[in-house]
A and B are shown apart, each in its own frame.
Chain A
Amino acid sequence: MYQYDKYDQAMVDARVAEFREQTRRRIEGHLTDDQFKPLRLKNGLYLQLHAYMLRVAIPYGTVSSRQFRMLAHIARKYDRGYGHVTTRQNMQYNWIKLEEAPDILADLATVQMHAIQTSGESIRNVSADQYAGAAADEIIDPRPWAEVIRQITSFMPEFSYLPRKFKIAVIASDEDRVAMRWHDFGIRIVKNENPENGAGEIGFECYAGGGMGRTPFIAYKIREFLPPTQILSYLQAVLRVWNRNARRDNIHKQRMKILVHDLGEEEFRRQVEEEFQNFLALGQDVPQAEYDRVAAYFAPPPFETGLSDEIDRSDPDFALWADRQLVAHKAPGYAIVNISLKPTGGIPGDMSAEQMELVADLAEKYSFDEVRATHAQNLVLPHVRKADLYAVWQALDAAGLAGVNLDLVTDIIACPGLDYCTLANARSIPVAQRIAERFADLDRQRDLGELKIKISGCINACGHHHAGHIGILGVDRKGTENYQLLLGGSGSEDVSQAKITGPGFDEAGIVDAVERAVDRYRELREPGERFIDTYRRVGFDPFKESIYG
């Protein structure tokens, strides 16, 4: 994976010094709270109900053992011994003291990590496929371009006070594992296969204007094929069109998706292309040589050859786990291991410092020193020899990390909700816990198959309820917590926006409603159909009838 050189290190160190200075000016009263707020947000510090939250960037979800141990250290020293994996592959801490934040950032910098632009109206950490470099279906590893983009979007002067946040995702396969089209800007790396002029070269298919929140939009494809070395010009064109033309009078209408929608896809594209030509003419793009330098860090690890693809399945508990949590690796004899952070009754995405250290040890010993964070709030060991799987499973099992529920009904995405968040209308975590308890029986889960439930505690949609096969949205109804049920969303390559079923429910009622929807699916499904497939085939009404029947 990528290693900082002296330049990267100096920039991150400078950022720590700058934030220390800004914090000092705040504490001494030279900065008002209003003036300080964007500065701390650009360093990942967000004020929640009880304390500051710190969001640490895990660029494109890739983290080394050494870095993961530092994340554990921070959990233990500055938080309450826990961390929380977010839907954008970052790590969040919920009990941070402002005066300690500069020290945390300094600790992070010692392992080439930071919290730069992880909150506020910034160009956020770049998401990428958690199986990058391991997936059998990828065209190239998307991370080198994600790293180039990370660097060029760090401290961009023209775009340092954007109308709102700006999120980028990069994938390189047909399957979308990061909800790319729910991002402000999405890249799918493609190969030019056009027989007319196809030289097999790599390009970017570009998407813009996606986002969740109170006005959800799925990103439009705005360019079929961008030469990758023009990405800086193109991104600046997109950002400039937005920065200059977005509304600034209503925070709820300032995301780029609103501008794309207001201008219309065609006009937005036209303006971007015009600005793109302007930037191209400046000749300021990052050359191929720099990409090559970065890409060398992502060279495949030295996979052993001649390994057996056999897995000893004699332990039935292990076999159950292996059937669910493993994904095909491109190297023979290796597997991708998914680690569930969704134990029944637990908080989705939470893990203890001890668990982090255990995973770091396993990565070091069995996975070429790499861990990945996923947008579904789980972890991945990307490169495990099949012969080592049993040992890995035993260690995970002993640490409470051998859950069997990847993409099943209990693999729930949930935002922090009213337990932490000042904006929340309702709690998300207890609803996730109740649903997980209701469906805890593994045979039942496996029978139901892939079913993605996503829960947000308010309309801001941090829990991705718009993209849930089943979505749950917390609302405030005359001062009490109430939950709306949504059906039919997807964050994958079959992207779609979920639709509200009707009147909301209380906490017990929403769990029952989910169960009724799921039971209806069992009655209606045809062989091989997932929940979402059945929903798409039969439509909304049969489900609505059962839910409100």
Chain B
Amino acid sequence: MADTGETTLLRFRDDAVPDEPAVSLDAFFDQSNATAVRIEAGDDVRLLLPALDRVRLVEIDFPRFRDGRGFSSARILREAGFTGEIKATGDVLVDLLWFMRRCGFDSFAPDAPLNLADVEIALNHYPNVYQHAADDAVPIWALRHPELNRGTADNA
């Protein structure tokens, strides 16, 4: 990523950009060949789970940056094993990006352009994390206990 200028599209994936427009959840179920879905803040993203294997892109909208429902939507998709693109749209501000990345968003199409230098700083403020999320960051408690093998159920 260049570190100067502004952008209205940030993408953290190497695959081809899906070219199909995202359709509403209702339209998605009406069109059996649709592969891109748009989730509004009030939608129940779990309705999509049975059909995930035909989805390439999920757009999750943030009508106002204070409305944090989309964070849960993205993480639920990742928990269900979704590996396609999750794009945040709408009132996406630079100070939300770190949290969004951790919830599984891997592309961003904000209404207002983001300053790339600010993005770079905002994504790299924190050296660690205190808990698991949808990313592969290792929580601080696990760093403190290298003796624990996370492959086994150590908290049973």
Contacts and interface: CB of A to CB of B under 8 A. Distances in A.
Q: Do A and B bind each other?
A: yes
Interface of A: 5, 7-8, 10-11, 14-15, 17-18, 21-22, 25, 30, 35, 38-39, 121, 151-163, 229-230, 232, 240, 243-244, 248, 278, 282-290, 293
B140 A151 contact: yes
B145 A155 contact: no
Indicate the size class of the contact surface on chain B: 35 or more
Contacts of B132: 282, 284
B108 interface: no
Given A157-B99, A161-B67, A293-B144, A152 B130 contact: yes
A158 B96 CA distance: 11
Nearest to B99: A157
Nearest to A36: B95
B95 A284 contact: no
B27 interface: no
Contacts of B79: 278, 282
Nearest to A241: B72
Interface of B: 41, 44, 65-69, 71-73, 75, 79, 93, 95-96, 98-100, 102-103, 115, 118, 121-122, 125-133, 140-141, 143-145, 147-148, 150, 153-155
Main DSSP-derived SS at the A contact region = helix
Contact of A151 (B121, B130, B143, B145): B130
Looking at A158, A160, A284, the one whose CB has the most chain B CB atoms below 10 A away is: A158
A290 B122 CA distance: 29
A157 B71 contact: yes
Contacts of B66: 38, 121, 161
B144 A161 contact: no
A286 B69 contact: no
Contacts of B131: 152, 156, 232, 284
Contacts of B121: 21
Contact of A285 (B41, B98, B155): B155
Contacts of B72: 158, 240, 243-244
Contact of A157 (B65, B102, B144, B148): B102
Contact of A18 (B125, B128, B154): B125
B98 A157 contact: yes
Contacts of B147: 289
A232 B67 CA distance: 23
A11 B127 contact: yes
A289 to B, nearest CB: 5
Nearest to B100: A157
Nearest to B75: A158
A327 B95 CA distance: 47
A59 to B, nearest CB: 14
